[in-house]
Structure 1
């Protein structure tokens, strides 16, 4: 453990010290810069690919095609999650971050060439699966490393800074993709060249991660079988077992699963409305992304204060109620301005819940298992989002005008609230 970590007796005490003092930890600054570079590249890559598939005049897009495209961006960790968890708890995380970022950069370039060549369908989606799968792996490695660079008592605040600003940086990356695409063109060549620019983020992230000393990011102890394949096979099961036995983490998982299911439905509706009902194109998608980023930013600025004032259980419960109300009030009118407001509200709620869950995993799960739990975390939530998106694609109106799906999304929030209340009783 880093020498900056808090004494054991203070592990469950949250002591807010402010962003300036938090940035005084050199390891945290370095980890933050690596995260920013990686997430900027992620945002640019995903927006560039979305433009190539969803808003490209040379390609057609219906609800099922859109769902397939999002599945390619969201499913990767469902495949590699069990592997990632075991490896992050077995290998030097610094070396993993360097190698994974460099490999991602290479695959981004391959994907860009495929787009320029007019590739589509299975080949393009498979490449997207690989790139985003590596991105998820990097993200879990960064999260599992965080307790090694800040005091444990400050994890809520560190998460608020790291994940919130990281998400905002990803939105900025997406905005850069919109700008670059406007210059280079919206055809296959322009979309491919735009996607290729994302390689810069991967290279910078690898260089910054490489500046950490060896073993500085853990794991401190290895609780793995001698055979790597056995460890990989056990990863998902072990992560699930540890999470279920930790009530604070289990309750958080229930709440976040509900949010991800809602988000999957709303994501499909929003893209369809922007393209076919509002006819707003990539510019409209950029506006939604901007309001989404603003919601994440506001959540990052306020979550630590809210938790300190009313506790995590009340914070998360209130967030679910606000989410359900916002979905109904802002989702049903189906106008451009209410859609933008809904993007802000839902992103705010989701980020508040995520920050609380991240802190629970980092604080209440041992370092020898933390990587596996974070891998399970991403696996479950991405599967949930893709399944909800795919089911919605089967029944949604071609132009996105489906009020029944909006109501169903609000009901899912309330069901998640009930499950969270039961799982968290007496533990948060």
Structure 2
């Protein structure tokens, strides 16, 4: 079900991105690229607190069936707008709706996982599900790029490829319908008497639960700084592929080169699936996260120094690998250490960290970058963000150790220093 959903999501995002950025019938500057990425990701965070509260109260099987069907219908609308050359609000509003509905699907899949996998195997199960799902999104994106070469890169071709993305949503709805009612949770509801009350308190509840669990807060900080850095890299890479790079041997510029970068990023995700369980069992989650942040820092500095097509391709693999390791560790921390009654709302906060930070970084890079993306100093700033993530992660773990030390002291000495 996750694979079908994320394949369709990758198809849709790549088709929409191609229609905006690599369509010869349209011109795209950095701000237009940033707007397109914001449309794809902001709804996750705007709707997140509400979706999180609702999937803590509604049968998650029904959420998965209904949301996938609604998403398929909205994709048809977006495809029609692209086909007829729509732009601006006419294109972005239905695309926002697609991304918003997809928020329900991905959140329900994440919080349902502990209901089908024993908690002691959450790291392995989450590694497989999330990494393979992300790889399927990359495959969907590559499929979209390949189909554009066959059916055309103009509005008609972009509209046809966008329409094909409904296949993933329809298949996911069919698979979700195969579960029995209540199988995927929630096991119990929160203390709010009404759904409206639960929705209104959703974000605050998720934030309180996260702050109260330092290991989860540490994971959020590491993931958030990665997404900020990755947002800067994404915007600049898209511009470089579009305007600055030329073919270098087997490496391609333009949309074909972007497809190659997606394949390399997918290879990084697949490698993360193999490495993460081994690293976590050998080193523990905290050290695994910090090693990943250090490697990402080095890769980012290399791109800033070289600013070449081969360097960007290597970074696509390395950042895909390290970013996915950090995400898998964060997923496991949330799923294993947060109670089921508030799990959906914590994942709503997770989505805000994951997506709003990315969109803000993309927007900042769009404002500061030249049109062709040649801004090595911005890439160096992205490396600095990874360093800040390392320091923030370490600070939260020190807080966790401090709380642990206080909890074992005799009652009369809790206030002692």
TM-score category by the smaller chain?
over 0.9
Contact 1:274–1:284 (Cα < 8 Å) also in 2: yes
Contact 2:303–2:379 (Cα < 8 Å) also in 1: no
Partner residue in 2 for 1:388: 361
Equivalent residue for 2:91, pick from 124, 148, 157? 124
3-state SS in 1 of match to 2:190: coil
Partner residue in 2 for 1:89: 56
Partner residue in 2 for 1:318: 291
Contact 2:68–2:169 (Cα < 8 Å) also in 1: yes
RMSD over aligned Cα, in angstroms? 1.0
Cα deviation, residue 135, structure 1 = 1.6
TM-score using structure 2 length: 0.93
Cα deviation, residue 425, structure 1 = 2.4
3-state SS in 2 of match to 1:167: helix
Equivalent residue for 2:104, pick from 137, 144, 159? 137
Partner residue in 1 for 2:137: 170
Report matched runs for 1:391-410 at 5 Å. 391-410=364-383
Deviations 1:271-325 (A, max 9, x none): 0000001152210110111111111110111100011001111111111111111
2:187 matches 1:220: yes
Deviations 1:35-83 (A, max 9, x none): 0000000000100111100000110100011111111111111210111
2:161 matches 1:188: no
TM-score using structure 1 length: 0.91
2:211 matches 1:244: yes
Deviations 1:142-188 (A, max 9, x none): 01000000110000000110001111111111111012111111110
Equivalent-residue separation in structure 1 for 2:191 and 2:269 (angstroms): 36
Partner residue in 1 for 2:344: 371
Change (3 A) 1:96 1:224: farther
Report matched runs for 1:248-327 at 5 Å. 248-279=215-246, 280-327=253-300
Cα deviation, residue 227, structure 1 = 2.3
Equivalent-residue separation in structure 1 for 2:97 and 2:269 (angstroms): 26
Unaligned 5+ residue runs, structure 1? 1-33
Equivalent-residue separation in structure 2 for 1:331 and 1:154 (angstroms): 39
Cα deviation, residue 268, structure 1 = 0.4
Equivalent-residue separation in structure 2 for 1:364 and 1:312 (angstroms): 13
Cα deviation, residue 426, structure 1 = 6.7
2:123 matches 1:156: yes
Equivalent-residue separation in structure 2 for 1:343 and 1:74 (angstroms): 20
Contact 2:34–2:363 (Cα < 8 Å) also in 1: yes
3-state SS in 2 of match to 1:222: coil
Q: How many equivalent residue pairs?
A: 395
Equivalent-residue separation in structure 2 for 1:356 and 1:220 (angstroms): 24
| Range moving further from structure 2, 417-426 or 364-373 | 417-426
